[in-house]
């Protein structure tokens, strides 16, 4: 899509509120805690290990679904509907769900990879949706959360 097909209003940059930034970083806590607990419990506490693994894969799946939902919210704000934004918005939901129903050692790898893919797609579409100012934060959050998913998968 080029700038001729995107309404001018789409380029109005969305601000980066401090509260949203703090909440976004706070959202990393379950990733860090989940990965740490998976390694801490190991084979000694299988019931707790299974519960934490399910909790982390579920949380990662929800975060991935949230990242897809952002496209629906941003898409509704545009003057002209761009179908690819809405189509992309459902892809993370499907992948996140698949990651949740897989065994944790493979689901967390899928989810970690999807967090990276979501960021790469955001780099492509956020500027035309007026959300380019969020990309630095998105990079940090994606890199850290994906890393914790991969570390947790290695501990499963």
The predicted structure's pLDDT at residue 75: 86
Query: Minimal CA–CA distance to 126: which of 14, 7, 3, 5?
Result: 14
> What is the CB neighbour count within 10 angstroms for residue 74?
20
Per residue in 43-62, pLDDT (tens digit) is 888 889 999 999 999 999 99
Per residue in 89-133, pLDDT (tens digit) is 999 999 999 999 999 999 999 999 999 999 999 999 999 888 999
Query: Minimal CA–CA distance to 99: which of 50, 35, 56, 144?
Result: 56
Maximum C-alpha span of the chain: 60
Considering the entire predicted model, what is its pTM? 0.87
Q: Give the model's confidence band at 7: pLDDT under 50 very low, under 70 low, under 90 confident, else very high.
A: very low
Mean pLDDT of 8-31: 82
The predicted structure's pLDDT at residue 12: 59
Mean pLDDT rounded to a whole number for the chain: 90
Per residue in 61-87, pLDDT (tens digit) is 999 999 999 999 988 888 888 888 899
């Amino acid at each position: 899509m080029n700038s001729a097909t995107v309404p001018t209003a789409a380029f109005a940059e969305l601000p980066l509120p401090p509260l949203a930034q703090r909440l976004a970083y706070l959202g990393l806590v379950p990733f860090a805690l989940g990965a740490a607990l998976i390694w801490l419990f190991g084979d000694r506490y299988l019931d707790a290990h299974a519960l934490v693994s399910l909790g982390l894969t579920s949380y990662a799946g929800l975060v991935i679904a949230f990242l897809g939902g952002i496209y629906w919210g941003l898409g509704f704000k545009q003057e002209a509907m761009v179908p690819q934004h809405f189509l992309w918005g459902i892809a993370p939901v499907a992948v996140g769900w698949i990651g949740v129903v897989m065994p944790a050692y493979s689901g967390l790898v899928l989810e970690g990879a999807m967090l990276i893919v979501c960021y790469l797609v955001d780099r492509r579409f956020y500027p035309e949706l007026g959300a380019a100012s969020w990309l630095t934060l998105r990079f940090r959050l994606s890199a850290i959360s994906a890393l914790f998913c991969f570390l947790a998968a290695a501990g499963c």
